[in-house]
Structure 1
Amino acid sequence: MTLSTSLLAAAPLIAGLTGPAILGAVPGQHQVDRPAVEQAVEHTAARRSMVVEHEAARSDAEQRRVLGYWTPQRMAAALPIGLLDSVTDGDGLLGGLTGRGGVQAKPGGSGGTDGSGGRTEINVGRRHQASSRPQASTIGARWSTGGAVTRTTGRVFLTLAGADFVCSASTVTSASRDLVVTAGHCVKDGAGEWAQNWTFVPGYGRGGEQPYGQYAARRMFVSAPWSRSGDDNHDVGMVALATSGGRHVADVVGTQDIAFNTARGGQTYGFGYPADPPYDGDQLVYCAGRLRDDPYKQTHDQGLGCAMTAGSSGGPWLSGFDPMTGRGTVTSLSSFKYSDDQHTMYGPYFGQAAKTVYATAERA
């Protein structure tokens, strides 16, 4: 883990400022307004101090190793990220509780925590079937309408604490054409370790179908508050992917728009690949409804009626979504549930901190 201090990405900003700031220039002589340049550098450095980044698989050889790691057998055996504590010593952040006195759990898991510290099973009924046409309100149904969202949303496979897990993610518009957004806890275990073997499979289908290939992570980004303490208000991760067959992921599957500091509330569609019963992780599932503030007031997150289970972590929430085209604007993502309310998913508000992470990651 290293704090991002490179100023290479600031070059376009500085260049744009120094053009008009060249005063009285004559051939062979440039007079630069140093204060303007210094202010730009200071601003960029301050911005980047709020972003923590990690170098993943940079070389071609390392990327091939990561992709080779994910055999069909390993993919099939990977667990929802909410089960981290079940396969480790329980010291990790992600296995259920996030430090609020046992109140909340990462999406789904195998159960919440009752008052006695035991596990309580989640029963969300039989598997939700696909509807003949998109619904404006549902707590979980198989998406069968098609459109861009079936390509831009995908499953994530990763290794943490020596075990293999799954999450969800979405491609988003970026300068690099390589960027996906997911939950911070699908990238880094709060103040703990970074994920390894991180791979994105867009359009994942039943039986392990991979119609658009696999993409290994090059660089990972989270906000400083998430990296320091696993602050659920900042449970956002951005991942710059390597190309596959020489092609950028955006050129293969397209992207969704992304926006920050938008109006709270409103209608939203959430997508993901829940893998805990009654789901199996093989199908794209969606929830739809109006957002509401956290009633416990423990976060600035917003809630969406949603029975999706573990494995849906990091799946995109799309505002202004058009069910016919499958396009919208990513304004949040699936982050956590309170253990006494398994039918409401909460997602972080994409404010200035998330925008800063994006501004750094999109040019990585």
Structure 2
Amino acid sequence: MRSLRYAILPLAAATVLALIGAGTAEAAPAPAETKTGPITGALTTAGNGATSVHTARLSSGAPVDSAQDAAALARYWTPERMAKAVPLDNLAAPSRPNAAKKAGPTGKPGMIPAAPARSHTVAPLINESAAVGKVFFTNPSNGGTYTCSASALNSDSKQMVVTAGHCVHGGRGGTWMTNWVYVPRYRSGARPFGTFAAKQLRTFNAWINSSDLRRDVAMVTTWPLNGNKLVNVTGGHGMSWNFSRTQPITILAYPGNFGGGEIQWACIGTTRAASDGGLELQCNFGGGSSGGPWLRTFNDSNGLGSVNGVMSTVTSGGWNEAAYFDDAVKAMYDAQGGVT
């Protein structure tokens, strides 16, 4: 049996594991994060919850509006193009709002259940989830090709992916990304479940117009591949919203500063409230990890959990941060989850 290679980094808040084998390993318990004082205030759905939807397009501007277009886009992303794609880094984004503008729960906590794959052939490697993958796309603003992380999200359509807003749109002064594809459980160029092309992209107007990191969230409907819908193939995570900011969390992503972004890495720890009311965990995950899911109740036996945030930024001190999932994120899910 091959052993699971792992590295424990000297971070106060988390244990980081490299995921490259089929052996077994257990992460050491992470110390709980603490922060005194209540989190107050809330973003209003009317002011900050509006979203925009966009038909996925090729770099030529042509829409990806058929299964044939989706297949052609999958072929476009050759191993060579994927290898040249650059991990997307959000360090250029504006600083987070101060505590006076921090978000809060906008309703009762809620959960959407995860969905297992319909096939028994997708059992994950230890800590590596078939419902997490790597995203590739082109930024029309500079013509560059980039990578992010993302995950399959259970919904009525069984076709949805959740990622960061800056992985679908450049934010203030930018535009929608093109040539967008999702590769579940990508590993060093391997695509065990194929390449799923985007059909429709959705993110918050507050991200599009103002690069507001409190709304750095996106949901994407993918085309079925060979007649098979994404969640039915890989399984799909559930989703949580309006939960406490202090949560045991497993983050799965493809950080470019670990393993070159070629394999999934996990960061396990307990989150705390960020200054703007989002979530933070000291993982030191860099570019390429953007959009990776922050999972409550992660089940290592099936690689599924409940998405409670997605990777957004990293501070100079190695603290990764995610927007807080509230009723506005649930409203985005409701708007996009049934699109086929």
Per the normalisation by structure 1, the TM-score is 0.67
Q: Mind listing any 5+ residue stretches in structure 2 that lack a counterpart?
A: 1-45, 57-63, 99-122
Matches within 5 A, 1:101-180: 146=125, 150-160=129-139, 161=141, 162-180=143-161
CA positional deviation for 1:63 = 1.8
1:354 is the counterpart of 2:329: yes
Residue of structure 1 equivalent to 2:245: 264
CA positional deviation for 1:71 = 0.9
1:155 touches 1:273 (CA, 8 Å); kept in 2? yes
2:294 touches 2:311 (CA, 8 Å); kept in 1? yes
- What is the identity, as a one-letter code, of the residue corresponding to 2:282? G
Q: Mind listing any 5+ residue stretches in structure 1 that lack a counterpart?
A: 1-45, 83-93, 104-143
Residue of structure 2 equivalent to 1:67: 74
Q: Give the direction of change, closer, same or farther, for the CA distance of 1:230–1:47 in structure 2 (3 Å limit).
A: closer
CA positional deviation for 1:72 = 0.8
1:288 touches 1:305 (CA, 8 Å); kept in 2? no
2:131 touches 2:304 (CA, 8 Å); kept in 1? no
Measured against aligned partners, the alpha-carbon deviations of 1:37-96 in whole angstroms (never above 9, x if no partner) come to xxxxxxxxx8998120100122234323322221110001100111xxxxxxxxxxx4x2
1:55 is the counterpart of 2:30: no
- What is the identity, as a one-letter code, of the residue corresponding to 1:54? H
1:47 touches 1:356 (CA, 8 Å); kept in 2? no
1:254 is the counterpart of 2:231: no
CA positional deviation for 1:322 = 2.5
Distance 1:311 1:49 in 2: 26
Residue of structure 2 equivalent to 1:327: 304
Matches within 5 A, 1:147-226: 150-160=129-139, 161=141, 162-191=143-172, 192-206=174-188, 208-226=189-207
Residue of structure 1 equivalent to 2:107: none
Q: CA RMSD in A?
A: 2.3
- What is the identity, as a one-letter code, of the residue corresponding to 1:348? A
Q: Give the direction of change, closer, same or farther, for the CA distance of 1:145–1:360 in structure 2 (3 Å limit).
A: closer
User: Between Structure 1 and Structure 2, whose CA radius of gyration is higher?
Assistant: 1
Q: How many corresponding residue pairs?
A: 259
> SS of the counterpart of 1:151?
coil
- What is the identity, as a one-letter code, of the residue corresponding to 1:202? P
Question: Comparing 263-272 with 177-186, which one deviates more in the overlay?
Answer: 263-272
Matches within 5 A, 1:70-109: 70-82=77-89, 94=90, 96-100=91-95
Q: Structure with the greater relative contact order (CA < 8 A, sep ≥ 6): 1 or 2?
A: 2
Q: Give the direction of change, closer, same or farther, for the CA distance of 1:287–1:49 in structure 2 (3 Å limit).
A: closer
- What is the identity, as a one-letter code, of the residue corresponding to 1:196? T
Q: Give the direction of change, closer, same or farther, for the CA distance of 1:50–1:178 in structure 2 (3 Å limit).
A: same
Distance 1:81 1:307 in 2: 15
> SS of the counterpart of 1:189?
coil
Identity of aligned pairs, percent?
A: 32
Distance 2:296 2:65 in 1: 33
Distance 1:260 1:281 in 2: 28
2:48 touches 2:206 (CA, 8 Å); kept in 1? no
Q: Give the direction of change, closer, same or farther, for the CA distance of 1:252–1:325 in structure 2 (3 Å limit).
A: closer
Per the normalisation by structure 2, the TM-score is 0.72
Residue of structure 1 equivalent to 2:281: 304
> SS of the counterpart of 1:354?
helix
Residue of structure 2 equivalent to 1:285: 265
